[in-house]
Amino acid sequence: MKKLLCNVLFALFLPSAAFAADTSEHDASLLGLLVPLIAVTAAMLAMLWWIKRGKASTGSGPLKLIQAVAVGTRERVVVLDAQGRRLVLGVTPSKIELLAELHATDTSATTP
């Protein structure tokens, strides 16, 4: 019972070392370090792939952000393409207003 209690308390502070107590010393040094390392690395790579995939799918919709310029602390002028139309919008925390609609051949809004 004391050994079980020691293993549980030890598992709270060093989980890989607690699993190593149950296996032989040779296998414990290898498995106790590599298995958690591989699991964490795989989880991080899966999360990075998921985040990258999510951001890539947002730009392929009907709206495409061309440029956004801050004109105040919370106000922006935004140029975007919406299904072939180029719109200039004024964006504030309380409303979004259409400022102008540009022709598709007009590229003056994309120059900084």
3-state SS record for the chain: CHHHHHHHHHHHHCHHHHHHHHCCHHHHHHHHHHHHHHHHHHHHHHHHHHHHHHHHHHCCCCEEEEEEEECCCCCEEEEEEECCEEEEEEECCCCEEEEEEECCCCCHHHCC
Across the range 8-23, mean pLDDT stands at 55
* Confidence bin at 112 (pLDDT 50/70/90): very low
Average pLDDT, the chain: 75
Does residue 108 have a pLDDT over 60? no
Give the pLDDT confidence of 68-93 residue by residue, as tens digits: 999 999 999 999 988 888 999 999 99
